[in-house]
Amino acid sequence: MATLQLQDILFSQGFGTRRVCAGLIQQGFVAVAGAICAQPATEFIADGSQFTVQGVDWQYYEKAYLMLHKPAGYECSQKPSTYPSIYTLLPAPIRQRGGGAAAGVQAVGRLDQDTTGLLVLSDDGKFIHRMSSPKHHVPKVYEVTTKHAVDDKQIQKLLAGVVLDDDPKAVRAATCVQTGLNQLSLTLTEGKYHQVKRMLAAVSNRVEGLHRSRIGGLRLPADLLPGQWCWLSETDLTSIHS
């Protein structure tokens, strides 16, 4: 298994420049497997490394795959225009992973500032491309609260396909289930700008609340509260495409 110098491990995980990482180590702020290491060039097997930086426990991940429960009032942008960025909800080392021009994790797709729910983030470019590509048709499930009561005619139109104002090709819901008088569970396999809101407007209704509960087979856990995040396991990653 490959070994890396401790300063390079910290650098790859987003703890600052190599000089900053070396300084943290030399000042005794870094422990590996519970033991302080003050030599930046000391080599460790990176995979599976457990280390502590300034009292906070971390684990080495070659690539980051995260789940975030997006709260309302946040923008999915590194440079938000009006509301806070979702990236401020993540620890600085995760936001700065890699250290290059495109450092840090990126959201796989976006949610509007007033939309809540499941976001997947990663610094794996191939994974992001695969997840975002319309060729793969990864289903996404949205819980929709509407202004007006939902009727069967609206549901049938959403399933058959509606035409949005900027695209002559009809878009349709893969599934559409009424879960309350003013509530729908809607599954989409493609992503367009404000798609759910525009689809509901096309059937003479209006979205009052929107929450994404699932991507593929990955569900937002009930105990992951708004604003909280967690690492995705191998099982979680596999479930996205199941």
Same domain? 161 vs 208: yes
Closest CA to 173 of 165, 185, 164, 182: 185
Same domain? 200 vs 150: yes
CATH number of the structural domain spanning residue 113: 3.30.70.580
The answer to whether the beta carbons of residues 64 and 94 sit under 8 Å apart is: yes
Cα 197–Cα 130–Cα 223 angle in degrees, nearest 5: 60
CATH number of the structural domain spanning residue 55: 3.10.290.10
Three-state secondary structure call for residue 124:
coil
| pLDDT by 10s per residue, the chain, length 242 | 679 999 999 999 999 999 999 999 999 999 999 999 999 999 999 998 899 999 999 999 999 999 999 999 999 999 999 999 999 999 999 998 876 656 789 999 899 999 999 999 999 989 988 888 777 788 999 999 999 999 999 999 999 999 988 778 899 999 999 999 999 999 999 888 889 999 999 999 999 999 999 999 999 999 999 999 999 999 999 999 87
Same domain? 72 vs 37: no
For the record, the structure tokens of 6 come out as 């401790």
Report DSSP letters for 17-28, one per residue.
Answer: -HHHHHHHHHTT
Three-state secondary structure call for residue 10:
helix
Among 18, 35, 59, where does a domain finish? 59
Same domain? 72 vs 94: yes
**Tally of structural domains, the chain:** 3
Asked if the structure places residue 108 within a domain, the reply is yes
For the record, the structure tokens of 138 come out as 């990864």
Asked if the structure places residue 87 within a domain, the reply is yes
Q: What is the pLDDT of residue 99?
A: 67
Of 8, 47, 57, 112, the active-site residue reads 112
Asked if the structure places residue 89 within a domain, the reply is yes
Asked if the structure places residue 238 within a domain, the reply is no
Same domain? 146 vs 209: yes
Report DSSP letters for 51-115, one per residue.
Answer: EEETTEEEE--SS-EEEEEEPTT-BSSSS-SSS-BGGGGS-HHHHTTT-STT-S-EESS---TT-
Same domain? 50 vs 36: yes
Structural domain including 186 reads 140-215
Asked if the structure places residue 220 within a domain, the reply is no
Same domain? 161 vs 209: yes
CATH number of the structural domain spanning residue 199: 3.30.70.1560
Same domain? 128 vs 70: yes
Same domain? 43 vs 91: no
Asked if the structure places residue 195 within a domain, the reply is yes
Same domain? 131 vs 155: no
Same domain? 92 vs 27: no
Asked if the structure places residue 242 within a domain, the reply is no
> Residue 182, CB half-sphere, CA atoms under 13 Å: how many?
11
CA distances, 2 to each of 44, 51, 58, 147, 211 (Å) = 8, 17, 19, 57, 42
For the chain, helix (H) and strand (E) counts, in that order, are: 7, 17
The answer to whether the beta carbons of residues 22 and 15 sit under 8 Å apart is: no
| Active site annotation includes 112 | yes
The answer to whether the beta carbons of residues 178 and 155 sit under 8 Å apart is: yes
Q: What is the pLDDT of residue 133?
A: 77
Asked if the structure places residue 239 within a domain, the reply is no
Same domain? 163 vs 107: no
For the record, the structure tokens of 105 come out as 């994790």
For the record, the structure tokens of 174 come out as 């893969």
